[in-house]
Chain A
Amino acid sequence: MRRSLTSTFLVALAAMLFALPQVVQAQETRTINHLRGKTEISGQPTRVVAMEFSFVQALDALGVTPVGITDDNQPKRIEQLVGKKIDYSSVGTRLEPNLELVSTLSPDLIIADDLRHSAIYSQLSQLAPTIVLNSWEGDYQTIKDSVVTIAAALGDKAKGEKVIAEHDARIKSLIGKIPAGENRRFLLAVANPDSMSLHTSSSFSGSVFKAMGLTPAVDGKDAVESGAGLERLVAVNPDVFLVATDSPGTVFEQWKGNAAWRNISAVKNGMVFEVDRNQFSRFRGLKTAELMVKETLAKVYKVE
């Protein structure tokens, strides 16, 4: 009887000790709407796990270094993504995040991608408050909105809005350098060993082109049209053609000697440019958008 009394007392004491910080944090609780519903977040999360590159860039813009990133086990990419070496733990690949590693980091916020991580949303939610956003198929506006949502989740929505306003101002001044009356059709494609993946008007790069006042060469509801052969490319016939590569041995090398390739408008006019696949296709962030605009200006219009 005495023993049970003592243990009851201890349990009550423990409960009080645990409840104490909870009470302190509960002062500021907000509800974040996202693609998988609503998530309650309290306080200001500091241990954030980011499961897509664009989220890492958003966090960086908001002054938060994620504790865990699904970096596809390619730390160099993260360095390229944020422009400096940052201290984080890898939690596996974007396709298959290692939930055990996520759990050991004891995160207080997880940012997941709709397409790749919706299936594990409930598991992620058990580890930490989780918000699900569209990065994989996100266009420029979606990515910008995501920055504000992430800022709100971090407890400082105003900072997100400020970051976007500053970004918009920089983009606006860059776009001003594009000559008036530009009506050429722009295409970004990723080169593979036997075909290309064409990025349409609804892809990130396509919507960045649109934001620049340029015309994407392929209109489409799906962000990417994959498996495009040379004949398809000839049919699309882009006037300005950015080819994203990251390893050698693609059709971009093989097609160069082909007579049909030489008939593509961009090829005839010397408007084919090789670009970095990470920056133009994988990252999809604010910084990426600025870099894409700058590179397009430098390559196509020769203005810095």
Chain B
Amino acid sequence: MHNGASNPLAVGAVFLILLAGAVVAGIALGVSNLPVLRALQLLFSPDGSADSALVWDVRLPRVALAATVGANLAIAGALIQTLTRNPLASPQTFGINAGASLVIVVCLIVWPEIRGPGMVWPAFAGAAAIGFAMWALSVSGTMNDMKLALAGISLQLVLAALVQAILIANNAAQDIVYWLAGSINGAQWSKVWIILPFTLAGGAVALIAGRHFDVLALDATTSLSLGQNARRVGGLAALLIVVLAGSAVAVSGPIGFIGLLVPHIVQRLVGGDHLTVLVLSAICGPLLLNSADLLGRVAAFPAETPVGIVTALIGAPTFLLILWKQRVR
């Protein structure tokens, strides 16, 4: 795994440049025939015109939502892989996203008046419940990494089937893609404001506590002997995973594979300590999700393919590749 020797600073700089490119493309391109240069001009000097509204109230919040959701999922993925010492772990493969999705869907049916910010709490509850179940399975020590990941995927399938059944039974089949795959087609500033505090706070705590997470990579007895309170660090990591993944699901549905993929990309490129991996994941996640969204927007032009479907198409083969490498190792 630690075969990457690239300079983290250089990799970070490249990520940032690519991210800037994806953001500019996200703002410059769209289904309306607004010229690219005019779109970029309006970005720096909004003039209150209809075109200006398009750039500032449709394209920009979408790019911002992709960035925050991407960062949340990537950081949560890096944390869960560290916490469980399992390279196949992610908010999706461990069923945490699907858990959040299921509880939101149930709450929406029971209390249809739940809106925007209110969806965060059921998301946290669902993410925490499934996270706890997976944690209990992982500490029971009866399963190796691969078995645990497959158990997680199975759990995710069951939860997804429940989401599907509930939506169909309640005559809301049109909502299935959103609550199963996730999408940011309906991006709004209001959604960005919901997730942003969690992204900032969660990201900050993760980075501040970053060097302590190294201890989780060691086995529990070693970390205890080092005088670290491994349990407390583990609890903090778990809390961060629930908050980051849950708030992402609340605004965009259970977008998959970002959390799995990003830590692997980063580790391949730089390897190294967990703080570096966390920082670079926080940049790579937004880059990957924005790129996937661009792809979704051009794939079936003028219709927009939900980004969750794009990430699934990219992510599923990647999961198999990681699984294959595990097997070889």
Asked if B171 and A246 make an inter-chain contact with CB atoms under 8 angstroms apart, the answer reads yes
Asked if B188 and A227 make an inter-chain contact with CB atoms under 8 angstroms apart, the answer reads no
Asked if A263 and B305 make an inter-chain contact with CB atoms under 8 angstroms apart, the answer reads no
Asked if A229 and B188 make an inter-chain contact with CB atoms under 8 angstroms apart, the answer reads no
Binds B, one of A32-40, A166-174, A180-188, A253-261: A253-261
Asked if B33 and A227 make an inter-chain contact with CB atoms under 8 angstroms apart, the answer reads no
- The residues of A that contact B112 with a CB separation of less than 8 Å are 247-249
In the assembled complex, the Cα of A145 lies from the Cα of B58 at a distance in Å of 43
Tell whether B151 is near chain A: CB-to-CB under 8 Å.
no
Tell whether A164 is near chain B: CB-to-CB under 8 Å.
no
Q: Which of A193, A235, A246 has the most CB of B within 10 A?
A: A193
Asked if A247 and B300 make an inter-chain contact with CB atoms under 8 angstroms apart, the answer reads no
Residues 136-175 of A, flagged 1 when their CB comes within 8 A of B and 0 if not, give 0000000000000000000000000000000000000000
A193-B178, A249-B108, A258-B57 known; A227-B171 Cβ under 8 A: no
In the assembled complex, the Cα of A226 lies from the Cα of B51 at a distance in Å of 23
Name the residue on B nearest A257 (C-beta). Answer: B190
Asked if B175 and A227 make an inter-chain contact with CB atoms under 8 angstroms apart, the answer reads no
Q: Which residues of chain B from 170 to 208 have any CB-CB distance to chain A below 8 Å in the complex?
A: 170-172, 174-175, 178-179, 183-186, 188, 190-191
Tell whether B56 is near chain A: CB-to-CB under 8 Å.
yes
- The residues of A that contact B188 with a CB separation of less than 8 Å are 254-255, 257-258
- The residues of B that contact A274 with a CB separation of less than 8 Å are none
Cβ contact of B178, chosen from A190, A192, A263, cutoff 8 A: A192
Residues 27-63 of B, flagged 1 when their CB comes within 8 A of A and 0 if not, give 0001111000000000000000010011011110000
Asked if B306 and A194 make an inter-chain contact with CB atoms under 8 angstroms apart, the answer reads yes
In the assembled complex, the Cα of A196 lies from the Cα of B59 at a distance in Å of 17
Tell whether B115 is near chain A: CB-to-CB under 8 Å.
yes
Tell whether A300 is near chain B: CB-to-CB under 8 Å.
no
- The residues of B that contact A232 with a CB separation of less than 8 Å are 31-32, 302-304
Tell whether A72 is near chain B: CB-to-CB under 8 Å.
yes
In the assembled complex, the Cα of A113 lies from the Cα of B45 at a distance in Å of 54
Tell whether A106 is near chain B: CB-to-CB under 8 Å.
no
Asked if A251 and B186 make an inter-chain contact with CB atoms under 8 angstroms apart, the answer reads yes
Chain A nearest CB from B176 CB (Å) reads: 10
Name the residue on B nearest A278 (C-beta). Answer: B171
Q: Main SS of chain A's interface residues?
A: mixed
A229-B58, A235-B31, A258-B188 known; A192-B300 Cβ under 8 A: no
Name the residue on A nearest B178 (C-beta). Answer: A193
A195-B304, A225-B303 known; A235-B33 Cβ under 8 A: yes
Contact size class for A? Answer: 20 to 34
In the assembled complex, the Cα of A73 lies from the Cα of B170 at a distance in Å of 10
Cβ contact of B58, chosen from A193, A227, A231, A247, cutoff 8 A: A231
Chain A nearest CB from B303 CB (Å) reads: 4
Q: Main SS of chain B's interface residues?
A: loop
- The residues of A that contact B185 with a CB separation of less than 8 Å are 194-195, 227, 229
- The residues of A that contact B31 with a CB separation of less than 8 Å are 229, 231-232, 235
In the assembled complex, the Cα of A227 lies from the Cα of B184 at a distance in Å of 11
Cβ contact of B53, chosen from A72, A74, A247, A262, cutoff 8 A: A262
Asked if B174 and A190 make an inter-chain contact with CB atoms under 8 angstroms apart, the answer reads yes
Asked if B50 and A247 make an inter-chain contact with CB atoms under 8 angstroms apart, the answer reads no
Chain A nearest CB from B54 CB (Å) reads: 5
- The residues of B that contact A74 with a CB separation of less than 8 Å are 171
Asked if A260 and B58 make an inter-chain contact with CB atoms under 8 angstroms apart, the answer reads yes
- The residues of B that contact A260 with a CB separation of less than 8 Å are 50, 53-54, 57-58
Tell whether A230 is near chain B: CB-to-CB under 8 Å.
yes
Q: Which residues of chain A from 186 to 227 have any CB-CB distance to chain B below 8 Å in the complex?
A: 190, 192-195, 197, 225-227
Chain B nearest CB from A52 CB (Å) reads: 16
| Interchain Cβ contacts under 8 Å between A and B, 22 examples | A73-B169, A74-B171, A193-B186, A194-B184, A194-B306, A225-B302, A227-B185, A227-B300, A227-B305, A228-B303, A229-B185, A229-B304, A231-B58, A235-B32, A248-B113, A249-B112, A249-B115, A251-B186, A253-B115, A259-B56, A260-B54, A262-B53
Binding site for A on B (CB under 8 A): 30-33, 50, 53-54, 56-59, 108, 112-113, 115, 169-172, 174-175, 178-179, 183-186, 188, 190-191, 253, 300, 302-306
Closest CB pairs A-B (n = 3): A194-B186, A259-B53, A227-B303
Binding site for B on A (CB under 8 A): 72-74, 190, 192-195, 197, 225-232, 234-235, 246-249, 251, 253-255, 257-263
